[in-house]
Amino acid sequence: MGSGAWPKTAKDYYNLGLWLADGYWWSSSLGLSSTNPLLIKRFREFLKRISPERKIKLRKYLSGEKYKRRKTAWHIYVNNREITRLFLSVKKGRKLLIIPKKFLIPYLAGRIDGDGSIDNRHRSGIRIVYSDYQDASRDLFLIGKENASLYFYRQANTWVIYLRKKFREKFLKKLQFYSVKLSPRRD
């Protein structure tokens, strides 16, 4: 996979958003951690497509008192130095993240599925949590200040983007098409 060949599809942008939210890397390995088996399944298909020559590895961490976990979790990853470098160049800002307008919704759906939450009962609606300002401000720029707001919560040391109601209402159906958290449909 050459760096010029990626990302190019809605699924690529979804998985990039998902990885930026819940992904990890170690040396030349790139993967995803999640307690949601549907997200693991989606990311597995993505890894198969972008790295067909490499073996995809899956680790399962069981829940329960014995394991000191509330939920079962999975780590799925592939050892591929080229892909890891490419993803890290985006994460660390060495490669400018330019998202064509038609792929912004799949990218946001990946972010929401990874580090987002949906609150339909209260006015906060959809929010995405970030651990650093650069990551949050980059996404705010992509979404547009007219469509979202950014807050810092000192006690939690997190940045949070809230999608404005007008933007949410306009794009909710499109977000639901891609997002596991927002959609009742299952893969």
Give the domain ranges of the chain.
3-91, 101-178
- How far apart CA 87 and CA 164 sit, in angstroms, is 29
CA dihedral 9, 86, 107, 127 (to 10 degrees): 170
Q: Which residue has the tokens 């006690």?
A: 155
- How far apart CA 103 and CA 59 sit, in angstroms, is 31
Backbone angles phi, psi at 161, to 5 degrees: -100, 130
* pLDDT (average), residues 163-174: 88
Q: Using CB atoms within 10 A of its CB, is residue 164 exposed (0-12), middle (13-18) or buried (19+)?
A: middle
Quick count: other Cβ atoms within 10 Å of Cβ 83? 21
CATH topology match: 3-91 vs 101-178: yes
* The CATH number of domain 101-178, selected from 3.10.28.10, 3.40.718.10, 3.40.605.10, 3.30.390.50: 3.10.28.10
Q: What percent of the chain has pLDDT over 70?
A: 91
Confidence at 120, pLDDT banded by 50, 70, 90: low
The pLDDT tens digits for 51-79 are 999 999 999 998 877 777 788 999 999 99
Query: Cα Rg for the chain, rounded, in angstroms?
Result: 16
The pLDDT tens digits for 20-41 are 999 989 989 999 999 999 999 9
Q: What is the pLDDT of residue 1?
A: 46
Residue 3: pLDDT above 50?
no
Domain 3-91 classification at class level:
alpha beta
Confidence at 117, pLDDT banded by 50, 70, 90: confident
